[in-house]
Structure 1
Amino acid sequence: MKKLLDKFLFAVMVLMVVAPAVSVFLWMLSLSLKNEVDTLAYPPALIPSSPTLANFIAVFDGGPFFSYFLNSVIVSGSATLMAIAVGVPAGYGITRMKARKMLLTIMIARMTPAISFLIPLFTVFQAIGLTGTLAPIIVTHMVITLPITVYIVAGYFETLPRELEEAATMDGCSVWQSFRHVALPLARPGIMVAAILAFIFSWNNFVFGAVLAGRETRTLPVAIYNVLTFEQIAWGPLAAAALLVTLPVLILTLFIQKEIVGGLTAGGVKGS
């Protein structure tokens, strides 16, 4: 009886956490399939009376959507790869040096509002003539991807048994060889989780792209903002555009959710 009650309470808690996100997603899906009459109807209805794909067509007709999609892939992919290339060795070094204060400093940089970095970075990129290209967006997105990568990877390296690296050192391996051949393969699940989360955070970022991007280098979140008009808010196309931006990340998360859960739980098991 107690186990049944515990499962019921757990299910209720999960429902309370998930319900708001699911409700917003379903309402966004509903708006994207409604015509203008259904959108403005009162009281509003979740199920459209006459579903239509006109809002999605309007999004593709309103601008080079595939070009913006490619920009987002390039920016998020590049920022993630650069964060992994820099963050994994940094996380390993921080862990082995037990530099917890440095790790805290990195997380403070992640929690600092993006506008604090945006103004000086914009000034620098404008001075060297890079504004309007993808390069400054990729670099600024490392403000998002690098700290989260270092934090996750450092926490994972901390759970790995030191005895394996010490054994490798006794066999003649250098610090770099011990990192490359022993620690790095063992930390693969943690690195995967860090890469996935870094990519998602970069994909959803709006501020840097809105200021630094040009007309042809906009990312998808910035492209959604352009759906808004001064006369009125086109809720249907706006919801359709938001759904198209959310869909790749949603599909990615569904396909690799086992990797995420496995990576997060593996570190906890090894550290116990």
Structure 2
Amino acid sequence: MNTAKLNIGQQVYYAIITLVMILAFSFPFLWMFSASFKTQVQILSSSHLFSFQPHFDNYLMVFREYDFMRFIQNSFVIAVLSTLGSLLLGLPAAYAIARYRMSYFSLTILIAKIIPGITYLVPWYILFNKIHLIDSYPALVLSHMVIGLPFIMWVMIPFFETFPVEVEESSWMDGCSKLRTFIQMVLPVSVPGIVTSSLLAFIFSWNNFMFSLILSGENTKPLPLAVFNFISGTSIEWGALMAAACIITLPVLLMALLTQRYIVSGLSAGAVKG
């Protein structure tokens, strides 16, 4: 009887702690979402925190006056190309490092992963300015790959290390090439890790502000940089700013929800295998 009461008490305790954590982490997003449907006066007034008449003028302003579709397109192109480029180079590289035990390359990747991205900024700017690639997609895609590529490799190495070598050797004996074995046997088994690493690399590129501030221009300005359009020296369009923030967050949130099963299995498998 005491044990049953203790278990119920523990469940209630864990439920309360979980609810508090959920509220703490979700409140900023919920406030941002609700503020996107308020007027400037309602946002700045504490009396309209929960009671207000929602309207869509902020979203109309974002798309009509600030041409946000162009910024969405820029962010999408940069994030997709940098993620695909990182996967194209990172997966074979991670497989080679894992299969041939290149520990010195693993250390190099770790160093590249932990170095702050701002240290690459000045060399990138000098290089792309010399070859006239400032305000171009290649400059932003390559700069984002500097962070995404080491991350994908570091996540995928443990997956490839645990794949049985005997399975690959049997396929080689049956006449399969190493490339075909890698594509048809190794990659399908590593889907959780691929989805997890590519999604996190996509999120980094989608949210990146630092590289875009220096390397982009009017032709390639992405969403995080476009938020500055709502901030001037005299005022801040809080409603439009909150609407723009919701637009930036929504695609990443939907992708995370749709691929949640793969992310959980990928992170848990990486934790066990690493």
User: TM > 0.5 between the two?
Assistant: yes
CA distance in 2 between partners of 1:23 and 1:59 (Å): 23
CA distance in 2 between partners of 1:61 and 1:143 (Å): 35
The corresponding residue for 1:19 is 23
CA distance in 1 between partners of 2:44 and 2:269 (Å): 49
| 1:52-201 map, 5 Å | 52-201=55-204
Amino acid corresponding to residue 39 of structure 1 in structure 2: I
Distance 1:59 1:175, change over 3 A: same
Work out the percentage of aligned pairs sharing the same amino acid: 38
Distance 1:101 1:23, change over 3 A: farther
- Asked if 1 retains the 8 angstrom alpha-carbon contact of 2:195 and 2:259, the reply is no
Q: String of CA shifts for 1:23-51, please: whole Å, max 9, x gaps.
A: 1101111221111211221x354324222
The corresponding residue for 1:257 is 260
Distance 1:58 1:150, change over 3 A: same
The corresponding residue for 1:239 is 242
Amino acid corresponding to residue 26 of structure 1 in structure 2: L
The corresponding residue for 2:209 is 206
Amino acid corresponding to residue 20 of structure 1 in structure 2: A
Amino acid corresponding to residue 134 of structure 2 in structure 1: T
- Asked if 1 retains the 8 angstrom alpha-carbon contact of 2:208 and 2:224, the reply is yes
Q: Does 1:224 align with 2:234?
A: no
CA distance in 1 between partners of 2:110 and 2:167 (Å): 29
Q: Secondary structure at the match of 2:80?
A: helix
- Asked if 2 retains the 8 angstrom alpha-carbon contact of 1:38 and 1:48, the reply is no
CA distance in 1 between partners of 2:215 and 2:243 (Å): 25
The corresponding residue for 1:32 is 36
CA distance in 1 between partners of 2:239 and 2:180 (Å): 56
CA distance in 1 between partners of 2:52 and 2:218 (Å): 37
- Asked if 2 retains the 8 angstrom alpha-carbon contact of 1:33 and 1:48, the reply is no
Runs of 4+, deviation exceeding 6 Å: none
- Asked if 2 retains the 8 angstrom alpha-carbon contact of 1:75 and 1:138, the reply is yes
Unpaired stretches in structure 2, ≥5 consecutive residues: none
Amino acid corresponding to residue 136 of structure 2 in structure 1: T
Q: Over aligned residue pairs, what C-alpha RMSD do you find?
A: 2.3
Q: CA shift at 1:87, angstroms?
A: 0.4
- Asked if 1 retains the 8 angstrom alpha-carbon contact of 2:97 and 2:103, the reply is yes
TM normalised by structure 1 equals 0.89
Q: String of CA shifts for 1:146-193, please: whole Å, max 9, x gaps.
A: 111101111211222222123223444444343233322222222122
Amino acid corresponding to residue 95 of structure 1 in structure 2: A
CA distance in 2 between partners of 1:245 and 1:126 (Å): 29
- Asked if 2 retains the 8 angstrom alpha-carbon contact of 1:209 and 1:219, the reply is yes
Q: CA shift at 1:11, angstroms?
A: 3.9
Distance 1:120 1:266, change over 3 A: closer
Unpaired stretches in structure 1, ≥5 consecutive residues: none
Q: CA shift at 1:225, angstroms?
A: 2.3
Worse-superposed segment, 137-146 or 57-66 = 57-66
